[in-house]
Amino acid sequence: MKRLTILTLLAVCSAIPCALQAQSSDHVEVGAFFDYTRLSAPTPEINFVGVGGRLGFNIRPTVALEAEMSYDFARNFTSTFDDGLNSNFVRTNVRPITALFGPKFQTHGPVRAFVTGKVGLVNFDVTNQGLLTGFTNGVSGINNGGNFFAVYPGVGVEGFLGPIGLRLEIGDNIYFDNGAQNNLKASFGPTFRF
């Protein structure tokens, strides 16, 4: 009986690294992020901040397909004074909703550099409702106009400790409204892989 218990314990202990290795194959990534978008079309530029979510499926260890959506609900006003830098966030009635889909090409390992190219749309919703109601009505009203085709090339880095990681990404969110409108887009947030 004692031998059977020891053999069972050894078998379980040797199976744990194999199970962890199977878990680290990271087929799916789910993430949330804080989003910063700098619209360059109007003068002066408009800085938007918001939140978003991302879902990715690895089709190879170095290639993933990702879908993401972000909702920018506040404007950022930054000014420089003699006593330093002043930054102020104000909820805005113009709230861009961005939805993108495309591949991500990444290195392999616990720290990964990547490049991505996505396509989708940018919707400029105008509302004075609360944040959640404004988002819900903005998404349900996407087919009502204010939509522009978007292309997003970007680069970034993500680091993982086991299944939990952090991701930083920056790119050019180009939407087409009477020509190409180039806009800086940056995101940062946690990522979980399964």
Kindly report, residue by residue over 58-68, the tens digit of the pLDDT.
999 899 999 99
Place of tokens 């399964």: 194
pLDDT at 55 over 70: yes
Classify domain 26-193 at the CATH class level. mainly beta
Domain ranges for the chain, please list them.
26-193
Query: 3-class secondary structure for 74-109?
Result: EEEEEEEECCEEEEEEEECCEEEEEEEEEEEEECCC
Instruction: Please state the pTM of the whole predicted model.
Output: 0.77
Q: What percent of the chain has pLDDT over 70?
A: 68
Place of tokens 């490049």: 115
